[in-house]
Structure 1
């Protein structure tokens, strides 16, 4: 023991690092070490250090070891040199270890041997303390040193950076500059690293200027760091400037500029620099190829990407060995739509990492192959040592949101809780909030948002979007106001405004929508075409077409196809069909962009709503001519259009051409037949349905039953929908009430109404109409009063007053009917339209007040549709007023010269009063024009 404790430093150096560290551990007890360590930091004196290591606190073995060190300073020069070499080797070998006690032992040895002030040794000891996480000791040692050169400062800065103290590292750099301490390229390199960690890329010019003044720009490593820092701050032009003026470019320099161009959204520049790199004679490596292949993916350049795939194989960067290159190839093929090639490359990779699995998973998702994506996820979980990471969870959660798989989404939520991912990654929380919002589970999204320990702007955007998309418009607006108060304008994002705009979908939200438009301009996003298109949608949804068309004219230089589609499709969606077709004409006349599927969906819907069958056929021909393949959604729209235009034959032909009709196709065909009084064909078609029907299917069946007056079909449909659990649906309830009341079974209709859980405005309207249809005007009025006085928040709409005025007309309640008509706009905010005018004219006409009805029509003050005058003509026929009837008929003949019912009605008026000559003349006009009046018919339910 004694001999081993007194072995010379020369022999220890020869023995190796393990024996050296073992000797040190046994030579110093923990008590001795702590005493020596504290002395070195707080007393800065070798004498005080020796007093702390006095013999009364040393163990026998430690005392012997202490004597060895005590004798070292008195040895000859050779012994001193040996001690220094021993310390140097000890520091070198210790840099590979992470034991906390190692640097402390070496520190004590350096103090004893007198080499602590040796700057290279001190700098290594600083780094050794930092490596073991003892930053306090590094700072203490730094404070002890009397002389500090650039190496010491660099070592201390490195130690701070390694321990996440970037702010302090920048402080040391500033201190060096202020004191005039000499610095080198490493100093600036460390400063750039600290600024990058703190996201202070805007300070890069300061470091760059210092490098230029000090003549250090010839250092390639420093220039590479400056390029990286500039690009991270989205100042790509400055990064390119640094690259251009570099004297010596290595592979890292080329890779830096290539990757940073791609990261800043300039994939074409990445390819340009790659070409220059090959031209300069610099060989590319796997990093370069990964980047340029990703650039091809961003540009959608599949042929070029395939060429790079061949090149990397030729140069030996085979996917089996170079996983990073393989991952880029997988992503490239996926983004270019070639999922088969992506899967082939994926299967060839022998050592797949989690990025490989995420790449193929994202590829399937981006190409709509959701089942295949879930299959990949199952395979991934079955591989040993391969578990889904945060990126995997975010991707799969987005799938669940896109196709509304709420059950699977909940399962993923449970997985993240078990793996404690939520506490470590806010991206997981945000993706879950977004998924719940898209699945319609707004309250779950809200609960997750409120319980989140950390929120960022993406969290707020996700919950605002969840509320806005699911009809909770007021809650979305309140959250937006909170964001406005919590975040400054500079932190507003494009997504924030895109999330709130869907909540502005009615005239009541117009003022709020205008304020959002103001925010867009205020935060400098006035030129953003995506946001401008959303604002156009908002204005149309709020009914302000002038503002929408003014905005699209304002962006005439930048507007794209999406801008025109915003007008064409949204106008058709909100009932502004004529404006939709006019916008299409303007787009075609301009000639800058070409229509697509969305454009045709809007125009075909507009033609259907307007009953323009010829124009609809033209657009049908345009779809066949310009679209490469048939789209089921487009075919469904065509069926709806032909049904509304009463062209059942064409609707049936389109339906027959659908290779795999979905439920929407069947519902569209059922609705088209039902709208055109083809009730029996509806039930024949329904018998062929192999899919599970939904609420819309049953609404069509009940409408057909109403037309046929068939309680048998209606009751069967009623029983079927009860088994399916659709009886609580408000639209189904309204259709049931209509069916039973039309078939004369009003009591059953009322039972359906009273037993329905949530009564929508459509159900109330149906019951009021049913009472009016059966001449029970008092009951209809009572029900209307019950509706507006209830605490259900029901507000009467256009259809409510049509039903109410019709009930008053059938029951002869003239005064009440006129009173309700006068209160519509003032009290309830419902502007009268043509249907209301028809009801009032019919009401006055039934009471024989024909002149009052005619004066009412004149007093409306706007051009009236033929239906209003047609109601007055029918009243003239009923009461035998030929003079007024002839006056009204002349106007109708000009408005609709091919409508035979007007000629027949006026002819019948003359017949009633014995004016056979006039009656024969009108009948002959009908024959000469080959006009036909649809015959009336009745049904008997047997």
Structure 2
């Protein structure tokens, strides 16, 4: 054993001339001394050659061949295994495994060291299959492997992820008694960590008491790799209690665990141990920088970074990624520029971090500069960098540039690139392009992953297409992946197919809180609140812990119907769970109480929130306005301004709706000025609300100006303008606006057609009114409701075609309501049609007995024609049933 150990040391470490002579004396026949006096300087001495070249580490193929030639000439290869093994090692270290193999087969009697050199040589060249084959051949020829053999072959099995082969080596180790050897045990622990699971690796580690630091380092790093961070920290604690001295590798792994957990104070304690031990190297310094960066302490991270005497690419990437994570893109770019000036080698990980920093709408210039720099380097062909560029442009909103990058890389046939492009289309709501690209993937033989399928399902609103994707998911075996099944049930819920959605939910083997919340929201949004509550109870009985997402979902069910009592019960549950004051739950409670018209409770919850979000503020303001509490809505908005809360477009839209009910143009103008200062006048929702506000305040000119300031008007903006024109009697302008809206590619909705039909009514365009009314169902699939029928009745009534209006009402496929009959009654008053007016008034009072307007209108019709007795009789009927006409009032 001593013989083998000394030989192996000679093949793996540098040695001096004197040590070499003593080694030679051992490796051969002890009675023969091989040291001879060199009489001539030109005589080749292999010992001098070994010594000189080992010191300068010139393991080149040329030097190896020179040595090979001289050893052949002197016949030392056949007579001395030491020279053969040394030359074999030189070939391996010079990456010439073919020459090493040729030499190996010529060695008359190779020993264990010869085999070890070949096995480790293949390992070092990442030729792990060859390493395993050589080990198998070695064992089959009867050679007994030693600890170095087992260590090398275990590394090969680990790299190959060859579980069965690794288990065979493990059996050999147990059988031959090398289990307690630290070098072999470290290899076994590493193998089990990467191939058999961390629990088995931990069992192997604890099977034998070990004081070897390498084994401890291996199990700690394995815990970190498997995201068992607390286990890694506990192992480190036990290691210190055993008075084992951690090294840089130990500290680096433990600091990584602290960084992943966000345990800054614990990390500082480890750093103190590092300073005490005097451990210093670039990897340890990088781990400390990464700790501070991931814990958000960028100032400290920068200080530690500047103190590092040597920085590698990992160090620079750690500090850049820290700034990116913190959202400080400009600092990340500054460090990247410094990295370029320092001529540090840049890798794809660095670039993806910098590209992520540029993925912001206001950094389009920096993004394109970064792209230009990449095109000048070799990285433009890297699929990982290409995917990051596609994602960057998608987040900026420049999806056309994402497509250009993709077209330049689609020939790589890398599924990851295609998946990123599909998700980019999904992010930008380009559902047709996302589905089209998925179809291309399948036709070209690429297998989409779970993320790709989930992205397509998230933007799909077609039930038929969803079912087709569902079939593919079942065929490909992706249904058992949580993101895919969750996306499927959400799709079915969105399309109104709750039966299929619930079927997918029942078949899910694993349900996370998002899937429970999706199913609850699906039931709530489609009017099945009872099932939503039943599902919530089922979830609690299964032992699933409710979080903010689920409670917000069930509160949404309470808001939709509304169920105030149930909402209070959920509020109590949230209080017991200790999450009632969380932002998401608190906002959902405010919304629920607001929609249930319990505004005092809504305000009480709102005032108790430690952090108020924009959504809850907007809902409360909107609820105040809808319930006629305009002053409270404006005061709340003023309070938000004084508290320096960030005001978004949603809040501003809610305030504008409240102001529009006041018909006070002065307040609207003041708010418009503030909106202009904030730069939100071009926002679609804010601009649309300004249009409505000015319209209700009677200023159609300001209404048009507000519309012109909108950057990209959507159908809501156009509808607001059309309705405003119609309400101000500008029918022709309303119809022109409608045609412009269609040319811009905006699809009208039912509210748009109310404005269009009202415009036709004000201009007396009966034929145009019929055309647009029929166009609703024919061209856009919108079924008319009572408001649309009332507009048509108003159109016919203004044109004096009362009989046609009556016939139109009788032909309605839905039951006419009081609004339709009331519109006909108003037309009868204008044109003095007593008989039809009496019929219309009877229908209105039948549907809404407490409606004073119908009685008054009929009474006025009688009075206009001098039928005073009938008029008085109608007034008597009003007094008899207790209907009172509210007196009119004015701001003036």
Q: CA deviation at 1:110?
A: 1.7
Q: Which residue of 2 aligns with 1:549?
A: 502
- CA–CA separation in structure 1 for the residues paired with 2:348 and 2:596: 52
Q: Does 1:126 align with 2:88?
A: yes
Q: Which residue of 2 aligns with 1:498?
A: 454
Q: Does 1:532 align with 2:468?
A: no
Q: 1:91 aligns with which of 39, 46, 50?
A: 50
Q: CA deviation at 1:116?
A: 1.9
Q: CA deviation at 1:422?
A: 3.2
Query: CA 1:553–1:648 in structure 2 vs 1: closer, same or farther (change >3 Å)?
Result: same
Q: Does 1:422 align with 2:379?
A: yes
TM superposition score normalised by structure 2: 0.73
Q: 1:762 aligns with which of 706, 713, 716?
A: 716
Q: Does 1:440 align with 2:393?
A: no
Q: Does 1:796 align with 2:796?
A: no
- Contact 2:355–2:392 under 8 Å retained in 1: yes
- Contact 1:769–1:803 under 8 Å retained in 2: yes
- CA–CA separation in structure 2 for the residues paired with 1:785 and 1:451: 40
Question: Greater shift after overlay, 588-597 or 536-545?
Answer: 588-597
Structure 1's unaligned 5+ residue stretches are: 1-14, 21-75, 894-899
- CA–CA separation in structure 2 for the residues paired with 1:719 and 1:316: 59
- Contact 1:426–1:455 under 8 Å retained in 2: no
Q: Does 1:587 align with 2:539?
A: no
- CA–CA separation in structure 2 for the residues paired with 1:613 and 1:520: 41
- CA–CA separation in structure 2 for the residues paired with 1:784 and 1:173: 80
Q: Provide Cα deviations, 1:319-366, integer angstroms capped at 9, x if missing partner.
A: 97698788778878988x796999799699987966678768767876
The 5-angstrom pairing of residues 869-884 of structure 1 reads 869-873=818-822, 875-876=824-825, 879=828, 881-882=837-838
- Contact 1:98–1:131 under 8 Å retained in 2: no
Query: CA 1:212–1:585 in structure 2 vs 1: closer, same or farther (change >3 Å)?
Result: closer
The 5-angstrom pairing of residues 565-580 of structure 1 reads 565-568=517-520, 576=525, 578-579=527-528
- Contact 1:608–1:642 under 8 Å retained in 2: yes
Query: CA 1:805–1:330 in structure 2 vs 1: closer, same or farther (change >3 Å)?
Result: same
Q: Does 1:473 align with 2:431?
A: yes
Q: CA deviation at 1:485?
A: 4.5
- CA–CA separation in structure 1 for the residues paired with 2:530 and 2:291: 40
Q: Provide Cα deviations, 1:590-636, integer angstroms capped at 9, x if missing partner.
A: 53445544445556666667677888788788877866685667777
Q: 1:112 aligns with which of 60, 73, 78?
A: 73
- Contact 2:451–2:483 under 8 Å retained in 1: no
Query: CA 1:365–1:629 in structure 2 vs 1: closer, same or farther (change >3 Å)?
Result: farther
Question: Greater shift after overlay, 824-833 or 745-754?
Answer: 745-754
Question: Greater shift after overlay, 78-87 or 256-265?
Answer: 78-87
Q: Which residue of 1 aligns with 2:12?
A: none
Q: CA deviation at 1:127?
A: 1.6
Query: CA 1:449–1:488 in structure 2 vs 1: closer, same or farther (change >3 Å)?
Result: closer
Q: CA deviation at 1:870?
A: 3.5
How many matched pairs?
A: 832
Query: CA 1:265–1:569 in structure 2 vs 1: closer, same or farther (change >3 Å)?
Result: same
The 5-angstrom pairing of residues 681-700 of structure 1 reads none
- CA–CA separation in structure 2 for the residues paired with 1:493 and 1:230: 27
- CA–CA separation in structure 2 for the residues paired with 1:333 and 1:750: 54
- Contact 1:329–1:345 under 8 Å retained in 2: no
Query: CA 1:89–1:166 in structure 2 vs 1: closer, same or farther (change >3 Å)?
Result: farther
For residue 76 of structure 2, give the secondary structure of its aligned residue in structure 1: coil
Query: CA 1:589–1:499 in structure 2 vs 1: closer, same or farther (change >3 Å)?
Result: closer
Query: CA 1:658–1:197 in structure 2 vs 1: closer, same or farther (change >3 Å)?
Result: closer
- CA–CA separation in structure 1 for the residues paired with 2:306 and 2:856: 85
- CA–CA separation in structure 1 for the residues paired with 2:702 and 2:807: 39
Structure 2's unaligned 5+ residue stretches are: 1-14, 21-30, 829-833, 863-869
Q: Which residue of 2 aligns with 1:6?
A: none
- Contact 2:825–2:857 under 8 Å retained in 1: no
Q: CA deviation at 1:132?
A: 3.5
Task: Note the aligned Cα RMSD (angstroms).
Answer: 5.7
Q: Provide Cα deviations, 1:791-823, integer angstroms capped at 9, x if missing partner.
A: x44433323322233334445556654554444
Query: CA 1:741–1:248 in structure 2 vs 1: closer, same or farther (change >3 Å)?
Result: closer
Q: Which residue of 2 aligns with 1:58?
A: none
Query: CA 1:272–1:918 in structure 2 vs 1: closer, same or farther (change >3 Å)?
Result: same
- Contact 1:844–1:853 under 8 Å retained in 2: no
Q: CA deviation at 1:470?
A: 1.2
Q: CA deviation at 1:392?
A: 5.5
Q: Which residue of 2 aligns with 1:138?
A: 100
- Contact 1:477–1:503 under 8 Å retained in 2: no
- CA–CA separation in structure 2 for the residues paired with 1:333 and 1:580: 47
Q: Which residue of 2 aligns with 1:484?
A: 442
Q: CA deviation at 1:871?
A: 3.4
Q: Does 1:909 align with 2:861?
A: no
Q: Which residue of 1 aligns with 2:191?
A: 229
- CA–CA separation in structure 2 for the residues paired with 1:463 and 1:380: 26
Query: CA 1:277–1:728 in structure 2 vs 1: closer, same or farther (change >3 Å)?
Result: closer
Query: CA 1:656–1:852 in structure 2 vs 1: closer, same or farther (change >3 Å)?
Result: farther
Query: CA 1:147–1:322 in structure 2 vs 1: closer, same or farther (change >3 Å)?
Result: closer
For residue 95 of structure 1, give the secondary structure of its aligned residue in structure 2: helix
Query: CA 1:604–1:885 in structure 2 vs 1: closer, same or farther (change >3 Å)?
Result: farther
Q: 1:204 aligns with which of 166, 181, 199?
A: 166
TM superposition score normalised by structure 1: 0.69
Q: Which residue of 1 aligns with 2:466?
A: 513
Q: CA deviation at 1:176?
A: 5.3
- Contact 1:413–1:432 under 8 Å retained in 2: no
Q: Provide Cα deviations, 1:106-156, integer angstroms capped at 9, x if missing partner.
A: 333322322022333122112223323455543553455455455334323
For residue 152 of structure 1, give the secondary structure of its aligned residue in structure 2: helix
- CA–CA separation in structure 2 for the residues paired with 1:938 and 1:772: 23
Question: Greater shift after overlay, 610-619 or 774-783?
Answer: 610-619
Q: CA deviation at 1:553?
A: 4.0
- CA–CA separation in structure 2 for the residues paired with 1:761 and 1:906: 39
Query: CA 1:885–1:393 in structure 2 vs 1: closer, same or farther (change >3 Å)?
Result: same
